[in-house]
């Protein structure tokens, strides 16, 4: 049943072109119905496979001459990220209800991107996974280049180049693994059983891991992320931070770490260190930014560092924390970008915190202010929100494996509190409207309406999700933890790494 998340998304993307070019409302409704259907199918499928073990969904010959199959499967990790994708898709459409320029094409690219993401999370044939991975890259370029804001062409091209360079690295590693194994198959589970020579793993692992980790914002290959986030339209920003960066982290875990366990053992300290550098660096840069979107963009680099650090702990608590952090960050970052991009920028036409400082948005946009404060508290890792549980599990796992790195990562959390409070204070709760010309216009001085009902619904859904998982993380952990007992991770267990 989960396969229908892919088919619905692509079918709806194609159906957009059956609408009249000026049918804006029809395009919005079709996109929302398709996204809701995808989320619904994902939830039903997740309930059906609630044990968290590996379950084959569909397996058909695809390119028999090279052993490639149309092989879709799911475990608890896949289920968690499929639900995240469905949520991000629905809420992104709600925050894009105002798109007027080429609305039909916008939602067609949007749904094609969502279909590609679903495909990556459900593919257990490496060639199929790579194809879906590439499908997800192309719509990103057009969403930013056509509907983006500041320096959109530059940001779109930079994101595309980084993505394709990473993809080339991944493809080279996968082809090498296919050839050396001699197994005539791209089946991930079968290839994970093959004992690749240590000399091969020592260069293949960093090649594939970095290829995927570029999209996850690994320092120092992270610079596409803040630029892309800042230029992208609101829905694309929410998807970039919410699910596209998770494609990279998912590839690191699902492919690089399971295929090359000996290479992982040789390189884990290096990538653990780079993850912590990303945590602290992203937080420090966020603390100095004037552009509101860049603050959130660099904070995403910092929070994704916790995901990569959790992966390098190679303990069940650290790995499950990393997957939970993927989900948590996807929800919280989506909410932050929704507030900054749609509620603030689209109405105030500036993202400069110094300019916003005098407009007292806390008074003129109370809903946006409250939403950002709640999202900020969740981002800081306050108990009661999903980020607290996720980062706590990562830090416990890191303390058991890299005590010094765990302490440094803790400093990153403190810096996260600082840049979040700075952004809240400057954007919403400082300045005097009498001191700044035009400040009294507030959020409605540019002819924009008040916060719309779709935006409020989207914000409430994301807030409810992060609170629900924060208060009862067992909902997801009961899916995630059993996944590490699957045959896919036998190589890690045999090597004493898990």
Residue-wise DSSP of 237-303: HHHIIIIIHHHHHHHIIIIIHHH-HHHHHHHHHHHHHHHHHHHHHHHHHHHH--BHHHHHHHHHHHH
**451, 365 in Cβ contact below 8 A?**
yes
Q: How far apart are CA 361 and CA 298, in angstroms?
A: 23
Q: To which residue do tokens 């059906």 refer?
A: 48
Query: What pLDDT shows up at residue 440?
Result: 39
Mean pLDDT of 274-303: 89
Query: What pLDDT shows up at residue 472?
Result: 92
DSSP 8-class letter at 61: E
Give the model's confidence band at 448: pLDDT under 50 very low, under 70 low, under 90 confident, else very high. Answer: very low
pLDDT tens-digit map of 344-400 = 877 877 777 878 887 777 788 888 889 999 999 998 888 989 989 999 999 999 998
28-160-230 Cα angle (round to 5): 60
Q: How far apart are CA 161 and CA 223, in angstroms?
A: 12
pLDDT tens-digit map of 177-215 = 988 888 788 888 888 888 889 899 999 999 999 999 998
Query: What pLDDT shows up at residue 454?
Result: 86
Q: To which residue do tokens 């607290």 refer?
A: 388
Residues shown for the chain:
498
- Percentage of the residues of the chain whose pLDDT score is greater than 90: 38
**Top mean-pLDDT range of 6-10, 42-46, 345-349:** 6-10
Mean pLDDT of 141-153: 82
Mean pLDDT of 81-101: 88
pLDDT tens-digit map of 464-480 = 999 999 999 998 998 89
**258, 489 in Cβ contact below 8 A?**
yes
Query: What pLDDT shows up at residue 213?
Result: 92
Query: What pLDDT shows up at residue 437?
Result: 44
**495, 262 in Cβ contact below 8 A?**
yes
Give the model's confidence band at 39: pLDDT under 50 very low, under 70 low, under 90 confident, else very high. Answer: very high
Q: Which residues contact 403 (CB under 8 A, 6 or more apart)?
A: none
Q: To which residue do tokens 């440094």 refer?
A: 408
pTM: 0.89
Give the model's confidence band at 115: pLDDT under 50 very low, under 70 low, under 90 confident, else very high. Answer: very high
Query: What pLDDT shows up at residue 455?
Result: 87
DSSP 8-class letter at 452: P
Q: How far apart are CA 496 and CA 498, in angstroms?
A: 6
pLDDT tens-digit map of 165-178 = 999 999 999 999 98
Which 3 state secondary structure label does DSSP give 69? strand
Question: Is the per-residue pLDDT at 447 higher than 60?
Answer: no
Give the model's confidence band at 338: pLDDT under 50 very low, under 70 low, under 90 confident, else very high. Answer: confident
328-385-338 Cα angle (round to 5): 60
Query: What pLDDT shows up at residue 495?
Result: 63
Question: Which of 489, 354, 483, 491 minimizes the C-alpha distance to 50?
Answer: 483
DSSP 8-class letter at 185: -
Q: How far apart are CA 409 and CA 276, in angstroms?
A: 6
Q: What is the mean pLDDT of the chain?
A: 86
Mean pLDDT of 94-104: 83
Q: How far apart are CA 464 and CA 335, in angstroms?
A: 11
- Half-sphere exposure for 365 (CA within 13 Å, toward CB): 35
pLDDT tens-digit map of 214-224 = 988 898 888 88
DSSP 8-class letter at 315: S
Query: What pLDDT shows up at residue 444?
Result: 43
- The tokens describing 124, both together, are 């257990």
Query: What pLDDT shows up at residue 438?
Result: 42
Instruction: Name the phi and psi angles at 396, rounded to 5.
Output: -65, -45
Question: Is the per-residue pLDDT at 441 higher than 50?
Answer: no
DSSP 8-class letter at 59: E
Evaluate the CA torsion angle 468, 474, 479, 481 in order and state its sign: positive
């Amino acid at each position: 049943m989960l396969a229908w998340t892919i088919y619905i998304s692509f079918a709806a993307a194609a159906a957009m072109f059956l609408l009249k070019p000026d049918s804006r409302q029809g395009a919005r409704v079709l996109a929302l119905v398709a996204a809701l259907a995808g989320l619904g199918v994902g939830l039903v499928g997740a309930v059906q496979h609630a044990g968290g073990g590996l379950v084959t969904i569909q397996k058909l010959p695809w390119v028999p001459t090279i052993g490639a199959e149309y092989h879709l499967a799911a475990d608890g990790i896949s289920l968690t990220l499929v639900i995240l994708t469905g949520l991000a898709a629905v809420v992104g459409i709600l925050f894009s209800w105002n798109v007027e320029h080429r609305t039909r094409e916008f939602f067609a690219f949007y749904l094609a991107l969502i279909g590609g993401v679903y495909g990556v999370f459900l593919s257990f044939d490496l060639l199929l996974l790579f194809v879906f991975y590439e499908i997800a890259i192309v719509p990103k370029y057009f969403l930013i280049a056509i509907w983006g804001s500041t320096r959109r062409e530059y940001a779109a091209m930079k994101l595309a180049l980084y993505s394709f360079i990473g993809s080339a690295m991944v493809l080279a590693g996968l082809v090498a693994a296919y050839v050396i194994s001699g197994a005539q198959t791209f089946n991930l589970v079968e290839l994970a059983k093959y004992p690749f020579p240590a000399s091969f793993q020592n260069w293949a692992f960093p090649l594939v891991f970095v290829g995927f980790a570029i999209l996850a914002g690994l320092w120092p290959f992270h610079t596409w992320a803040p630029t892309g986030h800042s230029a992208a339209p609101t829905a694309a920003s929410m998807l970039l931070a919410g699910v596209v960066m998770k494609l990279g982290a998912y590839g690191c875990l699902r492919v690089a770490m399971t295929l090359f366990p000996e290479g992982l053992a040789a390189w884990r300290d290096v990538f653990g260190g780079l993850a912590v550098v990303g945590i602290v660096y992203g937080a420090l840069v966020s603390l100095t930014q004037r552009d509101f979107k860049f603050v959130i963009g660099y904070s995403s680099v910092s929070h994704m560092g916790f995901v990569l650090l959790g992966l390098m702990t190679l303990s069940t608590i650290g790995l499950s924390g990393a997957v939970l952090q993927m989900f948590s960050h996807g929800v919280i970052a989506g909410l932050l970008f929704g507030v900054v991009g749609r509620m603030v920028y689209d109405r105030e036409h500036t993202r400069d915190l110094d300019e916003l400082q005098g407009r007292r948005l806390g008074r003129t946009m109370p809903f946006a202010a409250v939403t950002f404060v709640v999202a900020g508290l969740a981002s800081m890792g306050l108990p009661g929100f999903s980020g607290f549980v996720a980062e706590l599990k990562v830090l416990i796992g890191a303390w058991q494996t890299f005590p010094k790195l765990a302490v440094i990562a803790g400093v990153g959390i403190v810096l996260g509190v600082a840049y979040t409070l700075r952004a809240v204070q400057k954007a919403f709760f400082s300045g005097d409207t009498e001191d700044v010309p035009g400040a009294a216009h507030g959020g409605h001085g540019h002819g924009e309406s008040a916060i719309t009902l779709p935006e409020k619904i989207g914000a409430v859904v994301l807030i409810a999700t992060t609170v629900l998982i924060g208060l009862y993380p067992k909902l997801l952990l009961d899916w995630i933890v059993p996944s590490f007992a699957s045959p896919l991770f036998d190589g890690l267990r045999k090597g004493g790494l898990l």
